[in-house]
Amino acid sequence: MSEAQTPSNPIDALAGTLPALASEAASDLVRVQGHRHRGTTGVRWPGRSDLVVTALHGLEREDAVDVTSAAGVTSRADLVGRDPALDLALLRLESDAPPSTRGWRLGDTLRVAEPVLTVARPGESVRAALAVLGVVGGPVRLGHGGSLDRYLELDRDLPRGFSGGLVLDLAGRALGLAMRGVVRGASVVVGTTTLQRVVPLLETHGHLPRGYIGVGVYPARLPAEHALRLQRRGAVVVVALQDNGPALQAGVRIGDIVIAVDDEAVMSPNDLRAALEDRAGRRVTLSVIRGTETVRIDVEATQAA
């Protein structure tokens, strides 16, 4: 085989690509310093010069934090929104910098074993970590509330300070933010689709509005015939109803056994909270067992206080 026909070495190709990706990403990264914590990474929100998204666990209850730009300029930023379920915080700062124009890649074309680069700025300089997508799954409801439009997990544990770092494909497009605090023991990517849904709500409301239907529930075991049909045992039983609340007005009764919200299985009180998490202001359909019948009830979910 002639020299011209020799296949290019993929390692050599990566060696030329990765430093360029890290250098290009550096302008979108800031160092976020809570007063009682080590530094973590923040990412400038695309199209805005005043918004930064970062990991909430690095801030605790701070009302204001210090943000250091790629140029080394430190300024004060206000915490304007937080979502503990996704470990996200939204900061606003005064900035004369041009807005970020980085391209984003949506999750529908992602593949297992695709190489990705995580770029972070937990200290004075940019740091990088190479990984592959170890898990590419569908939508996930998190047990403590919140949801991911796609479940993306890296195949390695990220170093300290990388939470909030930018995860890039080899074309330099952002796949999302790397997070260590969303799922215990895993480095998860909060993808761009999820961020596009959540960040505007954090800016508007300061939090992610949660759906509320005015029920008190308790774990329950399904009757044998229903457990056999549904191939599961868990559900929740309604033990209290808010006076004039959405559920009572819709016809929900004490003693109803809730098995699903919009056909999404409910097996515990956490499942019910998670199913209502992003449905504030929307009509939801409860599937409940009442006596020997399964009844579907439409309820207008309001915003939780």
* Spans of all domains in the chain: 1-203, 211-303
Count of alpha carbons within 13 Å of 250, Cβ hemisphere only? Answer: 24
Q: Is the pTM of this model over 0.85?
A: no
Q: pLDDT tens digits, residue range 37-69?
A: 678 899 999 888 889 999 998 886 666 788 988
The CATH architecture to which 1-203 belongs is Beta Barrel (2.40)
Rounded to whole angstroms, how far apart are CA atoms 86 and 77? 20
Number of neighbours of residue 88 by Cβ within 10 angstroms: 27
The CATH architecture to which 211-303 belongs is Roll (2.30)
The pLDDT of residue 2: 45
In degrees and rounded to multiples of 5, residue 62 shows phi and psi of -65, 135
Band (pLDDT 50/70/90 cuts) for residue 144 is low
Q: pLDDT tens digits, residue range 189-229?
A: 999 999 998 999 899 989 888 888 999 999 999 888 888 88
Residues across the chain? 305
3-state secondary structure 66-115: EEECCCCCEEEEEEEEEECCCCEEEEEECCCCCCECCCECCHHHCCCCCE
